[in-house]
């Protein structure tokens, strides 16, 4: 028995080492047409990988690479968004396939703030708020547990060289598991589970869309050089596990948020406590601020839903009317949807900007922290937690209550 366990452990260790190998990330990048802009970096990469001296034609390849960069300067790029902790701007690289570059850039944006602040409001305002509330509950727990797990495991991201970093904004965070892969798995799967039977559409089409969404996000993180294959696989499996646990409880949680008298007080207290816990796990990184934003957004959505329900403004459809049919895409329907999104996002961005202007100086003043260097001040837990949390509680509350009420007032409901 002991020998069997030892053999199983050895096989798992080999598998994890294989999936964590940064050379596999570098090879995938090369396969997709990503190359270093410097031939010397390529030499260092091969020597670091233990490949030894390059073959006889390497000098000719360097010349071709240099000429290619000179003839196609538009292909020479720098990493997306600099690192918010170190100010690192990243290295230059050459893109041989613009199609794959923009495709995977889109994939990685499906796990960033711009997507969340656009997609969730769009779904709530134009599609189905009932489903939107539940998806956000899943998203909050998936992202929170993922970020906390990163700070507990503390595995670094793939090293460079041999990997080329096409994105460095999150480079100061740990890599295991990939929270992009977690959200890219949890959101489409939860949408599929929550809409199937509530809306009429082909199940096969829903499965294909969910698989494409998940695959695009996961592959994009390897393409960007931000995660090993193991990080991505672990993220997918972790998200599925969390979804298995939370999906049966979504109706209970949502009903509690809507109907229990003291739900807002409990929600806000719980989310603040979770935020404080996450801020004590490790030194400052972008993951702490992201965690506070996620918790704040979830609390704001839940509180907005509660207020809207208590005022009789949140009306659930009768079971007799289910399942819904997808309406035809008319000019009026699309125009109203676009107008809601435009007006709503302007309101959300204004609220976010105003709350940032108010909460940062207020937190600095309350806790006696100098505001001369805003960047350093925001890295203090006493400033970042209330600033991020209060700002996104306000944004979430506006998504669920203020903006829909505005739509009703102007006749866009």
Mention every residue, 6+ apart, whose C-beta is less than 8 A from residue 127. none
**What local confidence, expressed as pLDDT, does residue 283 receive?**
67
Q: Look up tokens 């769009």; give the residue.
A: 122
Q: Look up tokens 């490949």; give the residue.
A: 51
**Are 125 and 342 contacting, i.e. CB atoms less than 8 angstroms apart?**
no
272: its two tokens: 């603040």
**What local confidence, expressed as pLDDT, does residue 55 receive?**
37
**What local confidence, expressed as pLDDT, does residue 70 receive?**
39
Partnered with residue 35 across adjacent β-strands are: 94
Helix (H, G, I), strand (E, B) or coil at 167: strand
Phi then psi dihedrals of residue 101, to 5 deg: -60, -50
Q: How far apart are CA 245 and CA 190, in angstroms?
A: 12
Residue with the larger pLDDT of the pair 368 and 142:
142
**Are 367 and 383 contacting, i.e. CB atoms less than 8 angstroms apart?**
yes
Q: List the one residue out of 123, 125, 176 whose CA is nearest residue 149.
A: 176
**Are 381 and 283 contacting, i.e. CB atoms less than 8 angstroms apart?**
no
Which segment of 35-49, 51-65, 128-142, 190-204 scores lowest on mean pLDDT?
51-65
What mean pLDDT comes out for the span 264-271? Answer: 92
Q: How far apart are CA 235 and CA 12, in angstroms?
A: 17
**What local confidence, expressed as pLDDT, does residue 83 receive?**
57
**What local confidence, expressed as pLDDT, does residue 396 receive?**
94
Q: How far apart are CA 260 and CA 254, in angstroms?
A: 10
Determine the Cα angle at 161 with ends 181 and 232, to 5°.
Answer: 10
Percent of the chain predicted with pLDDT > 70: 82
256: its two tokens: 């509690």
Whole-structure pTM value: 0.84
Mention every residue, 6+ apart, whose C-beta is less than 8 A from residue 347. 398, 402, 403, 406
Q: Could you read off the pLDDT of 352-402 as tens digits, one per residue?
A: 999 988 888 888 888 777 776 666 767 777 788 888 899 999 999 999 999
Q: How far apart are CA 299 and CA 210, in angstroms?
A: 27
**What local confidence, expressed as pLDDT, does residue 145 receive?**
93
> pLDDT band at 40, cuts 50/70/90?
low
Residue 193, pLDDT > 70, answer: yes
Partnered with residue 318 across adjacent β-strands are: none
What mean pLDDT comes out for the span 139-157? Answer: 89
Report the catalytic residues. Answer: 180, 227
Q: What DSSP element (H or E) covers 92?
A: strand 92-95
Q: How far apart are CA 345 and CA 113, in angstroms?
A: 13
Displacement of CA 119 from its chain's centroid (Å): 12
**What local confidence, expressed as pLDDT, does residue 125 receive?**
92
Any idea what DSSP says for residue 413?
-
**What local confidence, expressed as pLDDT, does residue 354 receive?**
93
What mean pLDDT comes out for the span 335-364? Answer: 90
Mean pLDDT of the chain: 82
Residue 52, pLDDT > 50, answer: no
18: its two tokens: 């294989």
Q: List the one residue out of 288, 277, 293, 174 whose CA is nearest residue 227.
A: 174
**What local confidence, expressed as pLDDT, does residue 209 receive?**
94
Residue 97, pLDDT > 90, answer: no
**What local confidence, expressed as pLDDT, does residue 93 receive?**
78
What mean pLDDT comes out for the span 10-15? Answer: 78
Q: How far apart are CA 347 and CA 405, in angstroms?
A: 12
Tell me which range, 59-68, 130-139, 148-157, is most confidently predicted by mean pLDDT. 130-139
Which segment of 82-91, 109-118, 250-259 scores lowest on mean pLDDT?
82-91
């Amino acid at each position: 028995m002991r020998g069997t366990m030892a053999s199983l452990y050895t096989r798992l260790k080999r598998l994890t080492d294989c999936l964590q190998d940064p050379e596999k990330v570098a090879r995938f990048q090369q396969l997709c047409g990503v190359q270093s802009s410097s031939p010397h970096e390529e030499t260092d990469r091969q020597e670091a990988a233990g490949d030894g001296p390059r073959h006889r034609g390497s000098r000719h390849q360097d010349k071709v690479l240099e000429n290619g960069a000179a003839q196609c300067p538009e292909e020479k790029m720098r990493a997306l968004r600099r690192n918010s902790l170190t100010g690192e701007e990243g290295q230059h690289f050459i893109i041989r396939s613009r199609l794959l570059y923009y495709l995977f850039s889109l994939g990685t944006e499906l796990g960033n703030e711009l997507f969340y602040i656009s997609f969730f409001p769009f779904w709530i305002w134009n599609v189905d708020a009932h489903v939107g509330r539940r998806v956000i509950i899943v998203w909050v727990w998936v992202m929170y547990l993922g970020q906390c797990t990163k700070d507990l495991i503390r595995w670094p991201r793939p090293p460079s060289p041999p990997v080329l970093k096409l994105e460095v904004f999150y480079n100061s965070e740990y890599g295991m598991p990939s929270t992009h892969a977690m959200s890219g798995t949890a959101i489409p799967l939860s949408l599929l589970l929550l809409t199937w039977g509530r809306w009429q559409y082909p199940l096969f089409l829903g499965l294909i869309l969910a698989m494409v969404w998940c695959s695009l996000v996961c592959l994009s993180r390897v393409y960007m050089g931000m995660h090993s294959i193991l990080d991505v696989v672990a993220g997918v499996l972790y998200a599925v596990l969390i979804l298995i646990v939370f999906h049966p409880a979504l109706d209970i949680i949502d009903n509690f948020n809507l109907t229990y008298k003291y739900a807002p007080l409990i929600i806000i207290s719980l989310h603040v406590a979770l935020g404080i816990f996450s801020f004590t796990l490790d030194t400052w990184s972008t993951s702490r601020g992201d965690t506070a934003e996620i918790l704040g957004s979830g609390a704001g959505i839940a509180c907005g839903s509660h207020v809207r329900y208590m005022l009789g403004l949140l009306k659930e459809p009768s079971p007799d009317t289910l399942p819904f049919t997808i309406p035809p895409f008319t000019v009026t329907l699309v125009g109203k949807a676009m107008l809601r999104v435009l007006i709503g996002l302007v309101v959300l961005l204004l609220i976010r900007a105003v709350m940032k202007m108010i909460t940062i100086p207020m937190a600095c003043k309350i806790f006696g922290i100098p505001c001369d260097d805003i960047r350093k001040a925001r890295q203090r837990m006493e400033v970042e937690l209330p600033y991020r949390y209060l700002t996104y509680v306000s944004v979430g509350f506006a998504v669920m209550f203020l903006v829909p009420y505005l739509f009703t007032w102007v006749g866009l409901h």
